[in-house]
Amino acid sequence: MERFELTCIGCPLGCLMTVEKNGDEINVKGNTCLNGERYAKEEVTAPKRILTQSVRVRDGVDKMCSVKTSAPIPKDMIIKASETIREKTVDAPIEIGKIIISNICDTGVDVIATREVRKKA
């Protein structure tokens, strides 16, 4: 059996929760609502996060273009994905939503632009 200590992010109450995981059976204690239980179960089975970062731009009016993963990716892939994004340079123009890196680190998720960058005149 595994035990985890978590702080709920659902509301400012920030309940301290203890989660016991025994195979498929998950027990949550310390939560005060159902949202807390749902969050705790997801956190101990498959925690995921949206990754936001920025990439360098060539020939753009801006030097950098902000990007995000188009869906949450597994938490343990965040650092590896951030290292890949850090190395990337993109040519202007860039439209908002444009795919900057497809299938980042084989997660099946794309990295997309969150701003438009026009080409330098």
Partner 1 sequence: MYDVVIIGGGPAGLSAALGAKKKGCSNILIIERSEKLGGILNQCIHNGFGLHTFKEELTGPEYAYRYIKMVEKEEIPFLLNTTVLSISPHSVTYINEEEGVRTIETKAIVLAMGCRERPRGALNIPGDRPSGIFSAGTAQYLTNIEGKMPGKRVVILGSGDIGLIMARRMTLEGAKVLAVVELMPYSSGLKRNIVQCLDDFSIPLLLSHTVTKIEGRKRVERITVSAVDEKRKPIPGTEITYDADTLLLSVGLLPENELSRKAGITLSPVTGGPIVDNSFQTDSDGIFACGNVLHVHDLVDYVSNEAEKAGESAALYALSDRKPSKKKIPVSVFGLARYTVPEMIDEDTKEDTTIRFRVSNVKKDGKITVRVNGEEVISKKKRIMAPGEMETLIIPKRILEKYEIIESIEVGTED
Q: Which residues bind partner 1 (CB under 8 A)?
A: 7-9, 11-14, 32, 49-54, 56, 62-64, 66, 68, 75, 78-79, 82-83, 86, 96, 114-116
Q: How many CB atoms lie within 10 A of CB 68?
A: 18
**Toward partner 1, which CB reaches closer, 27 or 66?**
66
Q: Which is nearer to partner 1, 20 or 62 (CB)?
A: 62
Q: How far is CA 58 from CA 69, 83, 98, 115, 116, in A?
A: 21, 19, 15, 15, 13
Please identify, using beta-carbon distances, which residue of 24 and 55 lies nearer to partner 1.
Answer: 55
**CB 23 to partner 1: min, Å:** 25
Cα 120 to Cα 59, 87, 90, 91, 92, distances in angstroms: 5, 22, 13, 11, 8
Instruction: For the CB of residue 82, give the shortest distance to partner 1 in the complex, in Å.
Output: 4
